[in-house]
Structure 1
Protein backbone atom coordinates (compact mmCIF):
# COMPACT_ATOMS: atom_id res chain seq x y z
CA UNK A 1 0.00 0.00 0.00
CA UNK A 2 1.46 3.35 -1.12
CA UNK A 3 -0.56 5.70 1.08
CA UNK A 4 0.06 7.01 4.58
CA UNK A 5 -1.69 5.41 7.51
CA UNK A 6 -5.18 6.55 8.48
CA UNK A 7 -5.19 10.16 9.58
CA UNK A 8 -5.34 10.93 13.28
CA UNK A 9 -6.83 13.95 15.01
CA UNK A 10 -4.60 16.61 16.51
CA UNK A 11 -5.33 15.35 20.03
CA UNK A 12 -4.51 11.79 18.94
CA UNK A 13 -1.14 13.01 17.67
CA UNK A 14 -0.46 14.80 20.95
CA UNK A 15 -1.35 11.67 22.93
CA UNK A 16 0.91 9.57 20.69
CA UNK A 17 3.74 12.08 21.05
CA UNK A 18 3.30 12.13 24.83
CA UNK A 19 3.84 8.38 25.09
CA UNK A 20 6.92 8.47 22.83
CA UNK A 21 8.37 11.23 25.02
CA UNK A 22 7.57 9.24 28.17
CA UNK A 23 9.26 6.10 26.80
CA UNK A 24 12.32 8.12 25.80
CA UNK A 25 12.48 9.79 29.21
CA UNK A 26 12.20 6.42 30.97
CA UNK A 27 15.05 5.02 28.84
CA UNK A 28 17.26 8.02 29.61
CA UNK A 29 16.36 7.76 33.31
CA UNK A 30 17.22 4.04 33.48
CA UNK A 31 20.59 4.55 31.81
CA UNK A 32 21.23 7.58 34.06
CA UNK A 33 20.57 5.43 37.15
CA UNK A 34 23.06 2.84 35.90
CA UNK A 35 25.60 5.60 35.24
CA UNK A 36 24.97 7.04 38.71
CA UNK A 37 25.65 3.66 40.32
CA UNK A 38 28.77 3.09 38.18
CA UNK A 39 30.35 6.28 39.50
CA UNK A 40 33.93 5.01 39.59
CA UNK A 41 33.82 3.78 35.99
CA UNK A 42 32.17 6.93 34.61
CA UNK A 43 34.47 9.38 36.36
CA UNK A 44 37.55 7.36 35.46
CA UNK A 45 36.54 7.90 31.83
CA UNK A 46 35.86 11.61 32.36
CA UNK A 47 39.14 12.30 34.16
CA UNK A 48 41.26 10.23 31.76
CA UNK A 49 41.88 13.15 29.31
CA UNK A 50 43.71 15.11 32.05
CA UNK A 51 46.26 12.36 32.63
CA UNK A 52 49.61 12.28 30.86
CA UNK A 53 49.23 8.66 29.76
CA UNK A 54 46.01 9.32 27.81
CA UNK A 55 46.23 7.79 24.34
CA UNK A 56 45.90 11.13 22.52
CA UNK A 57 48.75 12.69 24.49
CA UNK A 58 50.96 9.67 23.83
CA UNK A 59 50.20 9.89 20.13
CA UNK A 60 51.07 13.58 19.88
CA UNK A 61 54.13 13.02 22.05
CA UNK A 62 55.35 10.34 19.62
CA UNK A 63 54.65 12.63 16.66
CA UNK A 64 56.72 15.34 18.37
CA UNK A 65 59.59 12.91 18.92
CA UNK A 66 59.37 11.85 15.28
CA UNK A 67 59.91 15.48 14.23
CA UNK A 68 62.57 15.96 16.90
CA UNK A 69 60.43 18.37 18.91
CA UNK A 70 59.87 18.21 22.68
CA UNK A 71 56.10 18.41 23.01
CA UNK A 72 54.04 19.58 25.98
CA UNK A 73 51.93 16.47 25.40
CA UNK A 74 54.76 14.37 26.86
CA UNK A 75 54.15 15.65 30.40
CA UNK A 76 53.25 12.95 32.92
CA UNK A 77 50.52 15.04 34.53
CA UNK A 78 48.86 18.28 33.47
CA UNK A 79 49.72 21.13 35.89
CA UNK A 80 46.30 21.80 37.35
CA UNK A 81 43.99 20.34 39.94
CA UNK A 82 40.24 19.94 39.84
CA UNK A 83 38.37 21.23 42.85
CA UNK A 84 34.82 21.65 44.13
CA UNK A 85 34.12 25.05 45.69
CA UNK A 86 30.49 24.54 46.68
CA UNK A 87 28.93 22.27 49.25
CA UNK A 88 26.88 20.34 46.70
CA UNK A 89 29.43 20.69 43.90
CA UNK A 90 30.48 17.05 43.66
CA UNK A 91 26.97 15.67 44.15
CA UNK A 92 25.61 18.05 41.51
CA UNK A 93 28.38 17.03 39.11
CA UNK A 94 27.55 13.37 39.79
CA UNK A 95 23.85 13.90 39.06
CA UNK A 96 24.30 15.93 35.83
CA UNK A 97 27.06 13.69 34.54
CA UNK A 98 24.77 10.68 34.97
CA UNK A 99 21.96 12.46 33.12
CA UNK A 100 24.23 13.39 30.20
CA UNK A 101 25.57 9.84 30.09
CA UNK A 102 21.97 8.63 29.93
CA UNK A 103 21.19 10.97 27.02
CA UNK A 104 24.25 9.84 25.07
CA UNK A 105 23.86 6.10 25.61
CA UNK A 106 20.07 6.14 25.10
CA UNK A 107 20.34 8.26 21.93
CA UNK A 108 19.50 5.37 19.53
CA UNK A 109 16.35 4.52 21.49
CA UNK A 110 15.26 8.18 21.65
CA UNK A 111 15.81 8.35 17.89
CA UNK A 112 13.80 5.17 17.47
CA UNK A 113 10.89 6.67 19.39
CA UNK A 114 11.04 9.81 17.23
CA UNK A 115 10.99 7.59 14.15
CA UNK A 116 7.97 5.65 15.43
CA UNK A 117 6.12 8.94 15.79
CA UNK A 118 7.04 10.28 12.34
CA UNK A 119 6.96 7.11 10.21
CA UNK A 120 3.16 6.55 10.16
CA UNK A 121 2.86 9.80 8.19
CA UNK A 122 5.21 8.55 5.47
CA UNK A 123 4.50 6.50 2.39
CA UNK A 124 5.62 2.88 2.33
CA UNK A 125 8.42 3.61 -0.15
CA UNK A 126 9.66 6.47 2.04
CA UNK A 127 9.72 4.18 5.06
CA UNK A 128 11.73 1.58 3.13
CA UNK A 129 14.27 4.17 1.96
CA UNK A 130 14.73 5.52 5.49
CA UNK A 131 14.84 2.08 7.15
CA UNK A 132 18.56 2.38 7.92
CA UNK A 133 18.12 5.89 9.31
CA UNK A 134 18.34 4.97 13.01
CA UNK A 135 21.42 2.78 12.59
CA UNK A 136 23.23 5.35 10.42
CA UNK A 137 22.32 8.33 12.59
CA UNK A 138 23.33 6.48 15.76
CA UNK A 139 26.63 5.35 14.23
CA UNK A 140 27.46 8.91 13.11
CA UNK A 141 26.52 10.29 16.52
CA UNK A 142 28.74 7.84 18.40
CA UNK A 143 31.61 8.44 15.96
CA UNK A 144 31.23 12.14 16.73
CA UNK A 145 31.18 11.45 20.46
CA UNK A 146 34.41 9.41 20.18
CA UNK A 147 35.98 12.13 18.03
CA UNK A 148 35.10 14.76 20.63
CA UNK A 149 36.33 12.62 23.51
CA UNK A 150 39.61 11.40 22.03
CA UNK A 151 40.61 14.49 20.07
CA UNK A 152 38.82 17.74 20.91
CA UNK A 153 38.61 17.12 24.67
CA UNK A 154 42.30 16.37 25.32
CA UNK A 155 43.44 19.18 23.01
CA UNK A 156 41.18 21.66 24.82
CA UNK A 157 42.15 20.42 28.29
CA UNK A 158 45.86 20.42 27.49
CA UNK A 159 45.76 23.97 26.14
CA UNK A 160 43.38 25.57 28.62
CA UNK A 161 44.75 23.65 31.60
CA UNK A 162 48.36 24.64 30.92
CA UNK A 163 47.76 28.19 29.69
CA UNK A 164 49.20 30.84 31.98
CA UNK A 165 49.21 34.64 31.90
CA UNK A 166 51.60 34.83 34.84
CA UNK A 167 53.53 32.47 37.15
CA UNK A 168 51.63 34.12 39.99
CA UNK A 169 48.35 32.61 38.80
CA UNK A 170 47.82 28.91 39.54
CA UNK A 171 45.24 26.85 37.65
CA UNK A 172 42.74 25.33 40.06
CA UNK A 173 39.85 24.27 37.86
CA UNK A 174 36.33 24.01 39.25
CA UNK A 175 34.70 20.63 38.64
CA UNK A 176 31.75 22.21 36.79
CA UNK A 177 34.12 24.07 34.46
CA UNK A 178 36.07 20.90 33.69
CA UNK A 179 32.97 18.84 32.92
CA UNK A 180 31.58 21.70 30.83
CA UNK A 181 34.61 21.45 28.51
CA UNK A 182 34.26 17.67 28.21
CA UNK A 183 30.49 17.82 27.72
CA UNK A 184 30.65 20.59 25.10
CA UNK A 185 33.34 18.81 23.08
CA UNK A 186 31.54 15.46 23.12
CA UNK A 187 27.96 16.62 22.49
CA UNK A 188 28.84 19.24 19.86
CA UNK A 189 30.95 16.70 17.95
CA UNK A 190 28.12 14.15 18.07
CA UNK A 191 25.70 16.71 16.62
CA UNK A 192 28.16 17.91 13.95
CA UNK A 193 28.66 14.34 12.74
CA UNK A 194 24.92 14.18 11.99
CA UNK A 195 25.49 16.55 9.03
CA UNK A 196 25.01 13.84 6.33
CA UNK A 197 21.67 12.85 7.88
CA UNK A 198 20.55 16.48 8.07
CA UNK A 199 21.55 17.06 4.44
CA UNK A 200 19.68 13.92 3.40
CA UNK A 201 16.37 15.19 4.80
CA UNK A 202 16.92 18.79 3.67
CA UNK A 203 17.46 17.49 0.14
CA UNK A 204 14.34 15.32 0.39
CA UNK A 205 12.39 18.43 1.38
CA UNK A 206 13.84 20.40 -1.52
CA UNK A 207 15.47 22.95 0.78
CA UNK A 208 19.02 22.25 -0.38
CA UNK A 209 20.69 20.90 -3.53
CA UNK A 210 24.16 19.54 -4.32
CA UNK A 211 24.67 22.45 -6.72
CA UNK A 212 24.04 24.95 -3.92
CA UNK A 213 26.41 23.06 -1.62
CA UNK A 214 29.16 23.15 -4.26
CA UNK A 215 28.50 26.83 -4.96
CA UNK A 216 28.81 27.74 -1.29
CA UNK A 217 31.70 25.37 -0.57
CA UNK A 218 34.06 28.27 0.22
CA UNK A 219 31.54 29.71 2.66
CA UNK A 220 31.19 26.27 4.24
CA UNK A 221 34.98 26.02 4.64
CA UNK A 222 35.03 29.37 6.44
CA UNK A 223 32.12 28.25 8.62
CA UNK A 224 33.87 24.97 9.48
CA UNK A 225 37.05 26.84 10.43
CA UNK A 226 35.02 29.17 12.65
CA UNK A 227 33.32 26.21 14.37
CA UNK A 228 36.70 24.51 14.79
CA UNK A 229 38.11 27.70 16.30
CA UNK A 230 35.22 27.89 18.78
CA UNK A 231 35.36 24.29 20.03
CA UNK A 232 39.16 23.87 20.05
CA UNK A 233 42.16 25.70 21.52
CA UNK A 234 43.31 28.76 19.51
CA UNK A 235 46.21 27.10 17.73
CA UNK A 236 46.32 26.26 14.03
CA UNK A 237 47.26 22.59 14.38
CA UNK A 238 44.33 21.74 16.68
CA UNK A 239 41.90 23.64 14.47
CA UNK A 240 43.06 21.83 11.33
CA UNK A 241 42.84 18.44 13.06
CA UNK A 242 39.22 19.17 13.95
CA UNK A 243 38.33 20.95 10.69
CA UNK A 244 39.49 18.19 8.32
CA UNK A 245 36.92 15.55 9.40
CA UNK A 246 34.20 18.21 9.29
CA UNK A 247 35.19 19.17 5.74
CA UNK A 248 35.17 15.50 4.80
CA UNK A 249 31.64 15.20 6.20
CA UNK A 250 30.62 18.20 4.08
CA UNK A 251 32.00 16.59 0.92
CA UNK A 252 30.26 13.30 1.73
CA UNK A 253 27.05 15.26 2.30
CA UNK A 254 27.31 16.70 -1.23
CA UNK A 255 27.36 13.19 -2.70
CA UNK A 256 24.45 12.17 -0.47
CA UNK A 257 22.48 15.21 -1.63
CA UNK A 258 23.24 14.39 -5.27
CA UNK A 259 22.13 10.78 -4.77
CA UNK A 260 18.86 11.81 -3.11
CA UNK A 261 18.14 14.42 -5.79
CA UNK A 262 18.75 11.88 -8.55
CA UNK A 263 16.36 9.41 -6.90
CA UNK A 264 13.70 12.11 -6.59
CA UNK A 265 14.08 13.09 -10.24
CA UNK A 266 13.78 9.45 -11.33
CA UNK A 267 10.48 9.21 -9.44
CA UNK A 268 9.11 12.12 -11.47
CA UNK A 269 10.22 10.52 -14.75
Structure 2
Protein backbone atom coordinates (compact mmCIF):
# COMPACT_ATOMS: atom_id res chain seq x y z
CA UNK A 1 0.00 0.00 0.00
CA UNK A 2 1.43 3.33 -1.10
CA UNK A 3 2.04 5.82 1.65
CA UNK A 4 1.22 9.48 1.23
CA UNK A 5 4.42 11.52 1.33
CA UNK A 6 4.83 15.25 1.74
CA UNK A 7 8.59 15.16 1.24
CA UNK A 8 8.25 17.34 -1.87
CA UNK A 9 7.06 20.17 0.39
CA UNK A 10 10.24 20.23 2.43
CA UNK A 11 12.72 23.01 1.68
CA UNK A 12 16.13 22.03 0.24
CA UNK A 13 19.17 21.93 2.48
CA UNK A 14 21.18 25.12 2.28
CA UNK A 15 24.94 24.58 1.71
CA UNK A 16 27.39 26.21 4.08
CA UNK A 17 28.41 28.75 1.42
CA UNK A 18 24.77 29.63 0.69
CA UNK A 19 25.12 28.82 -3.04
CA UNK A 20 22.03 27.02 -4.34
CA UNK A 21 21.05 25.73 -7.76
CA UNK A 22 18.09 27.16 -9.67
CA UNK A 23 16.02 24.07 -8.88
CA UNK A 24 16.74 24.44 -5.16
CA UNK A 25 15.80 28.12 -5.30
CA UNK A 26 12.47 27.19 -6.89
CA UNK A 27 11.86 24.49 -4.26
CA UNK A 28 12.67 27.00 -1.54
CA UNK A 29 10.30 29.54 -3.10
CA UNK A 30 7.54 26.93 -3.33
CA UNK A 31 7.98 25.99 0.32
CA UNK A 32 7.90 29.61 1.51
CA UNK A 33 4.83 30.44 -0.61
CA UNK A 34 2.86 27.39 0.53
CA UNK A 35 3.71 27.99 4.18
CA UNK A 36 2.73 31.65 3.90
CA UNK A 37 -0.54 30.81 2.16
CA UNK A 38 -1.47 28.23 4.81
CA UNK A 39 -0.83 30.72 7.60
CA UNK A 40 -2.77 33.46 5.79
CA UNK A 41 -5.74 31.11 5.29
CA UNK A 42 -5.69 30.26 9.00
CA UNK A 43 -5.59 33.99 9.74
CA UNK A 44 -8.60 34.49 7.46
CA UNK A 45 -10.52 31.79 9.32
CA UNK A 46 -9.78 33.53 12.61
CA UNK A 47 -10.78 36.94 11.24
CA UNK A 48 -14.06 35.51 9.93
CA UNK A 49 -15.32 35.28 13.51
CA UNK A 50 -14.93 39.07 13.78
CA UNK A 51 -16.58 39.96 10.45
CA UNK A 52 -19.15 42.35 11.92
CA UNK A 53 -16.46 44.17 13.89
CA UNK A 54 -14.37 44.46 10.71
CA UNK A 55 -17.28 46.01 8.83
CA UNK A 56 -17.85 48.54 11.62
CA UNK A 57 -14.15 49.40 11.71
CA UNK A 58 -13.83 49.84 7.95
CA UNK A 59 -16.99 51.95 7.69
CA UNK A 60 -15.73 54.51 10.21
CA UNK A 61 -13.74 56.45 7.56
CA UNK A 62 -16.95 56.78 5.56
CA UNK A 63 -18.70 58.37 8.54
CA UNK A 64 -15.76 60.75 8.96
CA UNK A 65 -15.89 61.64 5.25
CA UNK A 66 -19.60 62.43 5.49
CA UNK A 67 -18.95 64.79 8.40
CA UNK A 68 -16.22 66.53 6.40
CA UNK A 69 -18.50 66.80 3.37
CA UNK A 70 -21.23 68.46 5.43
CA UNK A 71 -18.79 71.24 6.23
CA UNK A 72 -17.98 71.72 2.52
CA UNK A 73 -21.38 70.98 0.94
CA UNK A 74 -24.14 70.85 3.56
CA UNK A 75 -26.83 70.14 0.93
CA UNK A 76 -25.03 67.18 -0.63
CA UNK A 77 -27.10 63.99 -0.46
CA UNK A 78 -25.02 60.81 -0.23
CA UNK A 79 -26.45 57.33 0.29
CA UNK A 80 -24.68 54.00 0.74
CA UNK A 81 -26.19 51.02 -1.11
CA UNK A 82 -25.33 47.38 -1.72
CA UNK A 83 -26.01 46.21 -5.27
CA UNK A 84 -26.32 42.60 -6.39
CA UNK A 85 -27.14 39.27 -4.77
CA UNK A 86 -23.54 38.06 -4.57
CA UNK A 87 -22.05 41.38 -3.42
CA UNK A 88 -22.26 40.61 0.31
CA UNK A 89 -20.47 37.27 -0.13
CA UNK A 90 -17.62 38.59 -2.27
CA UNK A 91 -17.28 41.62 -0.04
CA UNK A 92 -16.96 39.41 3.04
CA UNK A 93 -14.30 37.25 1.35
CA UNK A 94 -12.24 40.29 0.33
CA UNK A 95 -12.42 41.85 3.77
CA UNK A 96 -11.47 38.62 5.52
CA UNK A 97 -8.62 38.02 3.05
CA UNK A 98 -7.09 41.45 3.64
CA UNK A 99 -7.58 41.14 7.40
CA UNK A 100 -5.86 37.75 7.38
CA UNK A 101 -2.99 39.21 5.34
CA UNK A 102 -2.51 42.05 7.83
CA UNK A 103 -2.81 39.88 10.94
CA UNK A 104 -0.30 37.31 9.69
CA UNK A 105 2.23 39.83 8.33
CA UNK A 106 4.94 38.78 10.86
CA UNK A 107 4.88 35.25 9.43
CA UNK A 108 4.96 36.00 5.70
CA UNK A 109 7.43 38.84 6.13
CA UNK A 110 9.72 36.41 7.93
CA UNK A 111 9.33 33.98 5.02
CA UNK A 112 10.50 36.74 2.68
CA UNK A 113 13.61 37.19 4.81
CA UNK A 114 14.16 33.44 5.15
CA UNK A 115 14.09 33.13 1.35
CA UNK A 116 16.84 35.70 0.81
CA UNK A 117 18.88 34.73 3.91
CA UNK A 118 20.90 31.93 2.19
CA UNK A 119 22.50 34.60 -0.02
CA UNK A 120 23.91 36.31 3.08
CA UNK A 121 27.01 35.43 5.00
CA UNK A 122 26.58 33.68 8.34
CA UNK A 123 27.48 36.85 10.24
CA UNK A 124 24.91 38.84 8.24
CA UNK A 125 22.02 36.51 9.02
CA UNK A 126 21.71 38.12 12.43
CA UNK A 127 20.03 41.02 10.63
CA UNK A 128 16.84 38.91 10.46
CA UNK A 129 15.63 40.38 13.74
CA UNK A 130 16.32 43.93 12.54
CA UNK A 131 14.52 43.16 9.27
CA UNK A 132 11.39 42.03 11.10
CA UNK A 133 11.57 44.86 13.65
CA UNK A 134 11.58 47.33 10.75
CA UNK A 135 9.31 45.58 8.23
CA UNK A 136 6.39 44.73 10.51
CA UNK A 137 5.89 48.24 11.98
CA UNK A 138 6.38 49.87 8.57
CA UNK A 139 3.81 47.62 6.92
CA UNK A 140 1.28 48.17 9.71
CA UNK A 141 2.03 51.90 9.76
CA UNK A 142 1.40 52.06 6.01
CA UNK A 143 -1.90 50.24 6.43
CA UNK A 144 -2.87 52.69 9.20
CA UNK A 145 -1.93 55.71 7.06
CA UNK A 146 -4.08 54.37 4.20
CA UNK A 147 -6.95 53.98 6.65
CA UNK A 148 -6.52 57.52 7.98
CA UNK A 149 -6.16 59.39 4.67
CA UNK A 150 -9.18 57.76 3.01
CA UNK A 151 -11.78 60.22 4.45
CA UNK A 152 -9.82 63.13 3.00
CA UNK A 153 -9.62 61.38 -0.36
CA UNK A 154 -13.38 60.71 -0.38
CA UNK A 155 -14.07 64.32 0.52
CA UNK A 156 -11.89 65.58 -2.34
CA UNK A 157 -13.54 63.31 -4.92
CA UNK A 158 -17.17 63.87 -3.85
CA UNK A 159 -16.63 67.62 -3.51
CA UNK A 160 -16.69 67.82 -7.32
CA UNK A 161 -20.43 67.01 -7.28
CA UNK A 162 -22.19 69.96 -9.00
CA UNK A 163 -24.40 72.17 -6.83
CA UNK A 164 -26.78 73.43 -9.50
CA UNK A 165 -28.64 70.15 -10.18
CA UNK A 166 -31.76 69.80 -8.08
CA UNK A 167 -32.48 66.38 -6.57
CA UNK A 168 -29.01 65.01 -7.35
CA UNK A 169 -28.06 62.10 -5.07
CA UNK A 170 -24.69 60.34 -4.79
CA UNK A 171 -25.28 56.59 -4.57
CA UNK A 172 -22.14 54.95 -3.21
CA UNK A 173 -21.98 51.17 -3.59
CA UNK A 174 -20.60 49.89 -0.31
CA UNK A 175 -18.63 47.17 -2.10
CA UNK A 176 -16.84 49.72 -4.27
CA UNK A 177 -16.07 51.85 -1.24
CA UNK A 178 -14.63 48.98 0.78
CA UNK A 179 -12.69 47.70 -2.25
CA UNK A 180 -11.17 51.15 -2.60
CA UNK A 181 -10.29 51.20 1.07
CA UNK A 182 -8.76 47.72 1.15
CA UNK A 183 -6.67 48.46 -1.96
CA UNK A 184 -5.50 51.77 -0.51
CA UNK A 185 -4.47 50.16 2.78
CA UNK A 186 -2.52 47.38 1.04
CA UNK A 187 -0.83 49.81 -1.36
CA UNK A 188 0.29 52.00 1.52
CA UNK A 189 1.46 48.99 3.53
CA UNK A 190 3.50 47.53 0.67
CA UNK A 191 4.78 50.96 -0.37
CA UNK A 192 6.17 51.58 3.09
CA UNK A 193 8.17 48.33 2.82
CA UNK A 194 10.30 49.85 0.06
CA UNK A 195 13.16 51.03 2.34
CA UNK A 196 13.40 47.59 3.97
CA UNK A 197 13.76 46.00 0.53
CA UNK A 198 16.45 48.54 -0.41
CA UNK A 199 18.46 47.84 2.74
CA UNK A 200 18.08 44.07 2.27
CA UNK A 201 19.43 44.34 -1.30
CA UNK A 202 22.33 46.38 0.04
CA UNK A 203 23.14 43.72 2.64
CA UNK A 204 23.11 41.10 -0.12
CA UNK A 205 25.58 43.17 -2.15
CA UNK A 206 23.11 43.74 -4.99
CA UNK A 207 22.81 47.53 -4.55
CA UNK A 208 25.47 49.88 -3.22
CA UNK A 209 24.98 53.22 -1.53
CA UNK A 210 26.83 54.89 -4.40
CA UNK A 211 24.34 53.43 -6.89
CA UNK A 212 21.44 54.63 -4.74
CA UNK A 213 22.92 58.13 -4.65
CA UNK A 214 23.15 58.23 -8.45
CA UNK A 215 19.57 57.00 -8.80
CA UNK A 216 18.15 59.21 -6.04
CA UNK A 217 16.40 61.72 -8.29
CA UNK A 218 14.92 58.95 -10.42
CA UNK A 219 13.69 57.05 -7.37
CA UNK A 220 12.11 60.18 -5.89
CA UNK A 221 10.35 60.86 -9.18
CA UNK A 222 9.29 57.20 -9.29
CA UNK A 223 7.79 57.48 -5.79
CA UNK A 224 5.45 60.22 -7.02
CA UNK A 225 4.61 58.29 -10.19
CA UNK A 226 3.92 55.19 -8.09
CA UNK A 227 1.79 57.26 -5.68
CA UNK A 228 -0.26 58.63 -8.58
CA UNK A 229 -0.69 55.24 -10.28
CA UNK A 230 -1.14 53.00 -7.25
CA UNK A 231 -3.66 54.98 -5.18
CA UNK A 232 -7.05 53.68 -6.36
CA UNK A 233 -8.91 56.95 -5.80
CA UNK A 234 -6.61 59.01 -7.98
CA UNK A 235 -6.97 62.09 -5.76
CA UNK A 236 -3.89 64.27 -5.15
CA UNK A 237 -4.20 64.02 -1.36
CA UNK A 238 -3.79 60.23 -1.33
CA UNK A 239 -0.98 60.44 -3.89
CA UNK A 240 1.03 62.89 -1.77
CA UNK A 241 0.26 60.96 1.43
CA UNK A 242 1.93 57.92 -0.15
CA UNK A 243 4.69 59.54 -2.23
CA UNK A 244 6.14 61.89 0.41
CA UNK A 245 6.62 59.24 3.16
CA UNK A 246 8.06 56.81 0.59
CA UNK A 247 10.57 59.46 -0.47
CA UNK A 248 11.60 60.18 3.12
CA UNK A 249 11.88 56.47 3.89
CA UNK A 250 14.06 55.97 0.83
CA UNK A 251 16.41 58.72 2.00
CA UNK A 252 16.64 57.04 5.41
CA UNK A 253 17.35 53.69 3.73
CA UNK A 254 20.05 55.33 1.62
CA UNK A 255 21.70 56.65 4.78
CA UNK A 256 21.63 53.18 6.35
CA UNK A 257 23.17 51.68 3.21
CA UNK A 258 25.87 54.34 3.18
CA UNK A 259 26.77 53.57 6.81
CA UNK A 260 26.85 49.82 6.05
CA UNK A 261 29.05 50.22 2.96
CA UNK A 262 31.40 52.53 4.86
CA UNK A 263 31.73 50.00 7.69
CA UNK A 264 32.45 47.20 5.20
CA UNK A 265 35.12 49.28 3.42
CA UNK A 266 36.83 50.11 6.71
CA UNK A 267 36.86 46.47 7.73
CA UNK A 268 38.29 45.35 4.39
CA UNK A 269 40.92 48.10 4.57
CA UNK A 270 41.89 47.00 8.10
CA UNK A 271 42.34 43.43 6.82
CA UNK A 272 44.46 44.65 3.94
CA UNK A 273 41.90 43.54 1.35
CA UNK A 274 41.03 47.04 0.21
CA UNK A 275 43.15 50.09 -0.44
CA UNK A 276 41.13 53.23 0.20
CA UNK A 277 41.87 56.13 -2.12
- TM exceeding 0.5: yes
CA distance change for structure 1 residues 20 and 222 in 2, over 3 Å: closer, same or farther? closer
CA root-mean-square deviation: 3.3
1:141 Cα offset (Å): 0.7
Using structure 2 for the length normalisation, give the TM-score.
Answer: 0.75
* Residue 260 (structure 1) aligned with residue 257 (structure 2): no
Q: Distance in 1 between matches of 2:225 and 2:29?
A: 37
What is the CA deviation profile of residues 190-229 of structure 1, one whole-angstrom value per residue up to 9, with x for unaligned ones? 1111121111123234443334434444433433333344
Q: Distance in 1 between matches of 2:31 and 2:238?
A: 43
1:139-154 → structure 2 map (5 Å cutoff): 139-151=137-149, 153-154=150-151
Aligned residue pairs: how many? Answer: 251
Aligned residue in 2 for 1:175 = 174
* Residue 248 (structure 1) aligned with residue 245 (structure 2): no
* Residue 226 (structure 1) aligned with residue 225 (structure 2): yes
CA distance change for structure 1 residues 170 and 141 in 2, over 3 Å: closer, same or farther? same
1:193-208 → structure 2 map (5 Å cutoff): 193-208=192-207
SS of 1:86 mapped into structure 2: coil
CA distance change for structure 1 residues 21 and 240 in 2, over 3 Å: closer, same or farther? closer
CA distance change for structure 1 residues 53 and 85 in 2, over 3 Å: closer, same or farther? closer
1:132 Cα offset (Å): 1.8
CA distance change for structure 1 residues 99 and 234 in 2, over 3 Å: closer, same or farther? closer
CA distance change for structure 1 residues 6 and 259 in 2, over 3 Å: closer, same or farther? closer
SS of 2:190 mapped into structure 1: helix
* Residue 37 (structure 1) aligned with residue 35 (structure 2): no
Asked if structure 2 preserves the Cα contact closer than 8 Å seen for 1:82 and 1:178, the reply is: no
Asked if structure 2 preserves the Cα contact closer than 8 Å seen for 1:28 and 1:106, the reply is: yes
Q: Which moved more, 1:180-189 or 1:237-246?
A: 237-246
Gaps spanning 5+ residues in structure 2: where? 1-14, 270-277
Asked if structure 2 preserves the Cα contact closer than 8 Å seen for 1:52 and 1:78, the reply is: no
Aligned residue in 2 for 1:67 = none
1:87 Cα offset (Å): 0.8
SS of 1:132 mapped into structure 2: helix
Aligned residue in 1 for 2:156 = 159
1:131-142 → structure 2 map (5 Å cutoff): 131-142=129-140
Gaps spanning 5+ residues in structure 1: where? 62-69
Using structure 1 for the length normalisation, give the TM-score.
Answer: 0.77
